[in-house]
Amino acid sequence: MKIEDIHCVLIIGAGTMGQQIGLQSAIHAYDVILYDIVPEALQSASAQINSYAAALVDQNRLSRNDADAALARIRATSRPEDAAAADLVSESVPEDPALKVKVFAQFHKICPPHAIFTTNTSTLIPSMYSEATGRPSQFAALHFHGLVWDSNVVDIMPHPGTSPETVELLLAFAGRIGQIPILLHKESYQYVFNAMLGALNTAALKLVTDGVAVVEDIDRAWMGIMKTHIGPFGIMDFVGLKTVWDITQYWATVTGDVQLQANANFLKPFVDKEQLGVKTGKGFYSYPDPAYARPDFLTGRVDHP
């Protein structure tokens, strides 16, 4: 395949990242199929994608006509057989290797033989389930960051069986949809940016679980010294606390790390209450007006336990 042979992109998983990857691909003239096993998830995704497009129009980054054209290129379905006719597949299901194995095996049976398969996993490596794709030479990680149109860096991580042609095709595709491709020369858990971000989040959670400081003051420390507009707990709200918990709990289970388990236990009540961050309007902060965005946040005080 050549880059000119890619016309249709299948997004498996209609969560936050799937929505953004789909819209970004549609903005750059690709037809997009958005698939999710849960029909209700597709309804929610459609509303959020429309909201993303409206925001880009309001910011004068996209014309209304171009936004309408992009939205018209996106088709949603919960029927696998209606989703299979794609040239490139981007998987964004939860960080569960067994689930990813099941999904890729399912779509290998129904997608055309030429289709390239990619995973948007943020912590797993592609060789963990490359054989399940049925087409390991046409498979690699293509990992995006949110918001895709702002944080426009994508990790391309081949596994030992990925063909050079697939790597070149993914490099070209990333460029076509406005991304800065970062090519990894070996498999590495947590990729590039997430390896650094994960260390920050783990350290921030440890400070809370050890009783050293409260959430707001930890964010103040980071924001005040690094001069950023957001701290680690605000970032976790943006990523989604279910995603952060999934990753933390997975690695706590795999490694037996006591501190990671304590961090996961701290996050679990937020997940149970569906206080997942920006997407639900409440996480460590309340949205759309989080405390850390207010002018007096750095000089404000919180009640210490």
Per DSSP, the residues of the chain read --GGG--EEEEE--SHHHHHHHHHHHHTT-EEEEE-S-HHHHHHHHHHHHHHHHHHHHTTSS-HHHHHHHHHTEEEES-HHHH---SEEEE---S-HHHHHHHHHHHHTTS-TT-EEEE--SSS-GGGTTGGGS-GGGEEEEE--SSTTTS-EEEEEE-TT--HHHHHHHHHHHHHTT-EEEE-SS--TTTTHHHHHHHHHHHHHHHHHTTS--HHHHHHHHHHHHT-S--HHHHHHHH-HHHHHHHHHHHHHHH--HHHHHHHHHHHHHHHTT--BGGGTBSSSBSSS-GGGSTTTTT------
Q: Which residues of the chain have pLDDT under 70?
A: 301-305
Which of 285, 151, 284, 300 has its CA nearest to residue 224? 300
Q: How far apart are CA 282 and CA 205, in angstroms?
A: 18
35-69: per-residue pLDDT in tens? 999 999 999 999 999 999 999 999 999 999 999 99
* Domains of the chain by start residue, with CATH: 3-183 (3.40.50.720), 193-293 (1.10.1040.10)
Determine contact, residues 124/95, Cβ cutoff 8 Å: yes
**Which two three-digit tokens encode residue 75?**
């088709």
75 vs 219: CA distance, rounded Å: 40
pLDDT at residue 302, as a whole number: 54
- 154 - beta bridge partners? 181
Task: Provide CB contacts within 8 A for 273, sequence distance 6+.
Answer: none
Q: What is the CA radius of gyration of the chain?
A: 20
| Residue-level pLDDT at 304 | 45
In 3D space, the residue among 184, 150, 42, 21 whose CA is nearest the CA of residue 88 turns out to be: 21
- For CA atoms 186, 192, 196, 202, the dihedral sign is negative
Tokens of 249: 């709990």
Place of tokens 């069986």: 161
First to last CA, the chain: 60
* pLDDT in the model for residue 282: 97
Give the pairing type, strands 180-183 and 153-158. Answer: parallel
pTM: 0.82
Rounded CA gap, 54 and 195, in Å? 32
Is the sign of the CA dihedral 211, 213, 219, 224 positive or negative?
negative
d(CA 52, CA 58): 10
> What per-residue confidence (pLDDT) applies to 301?
62
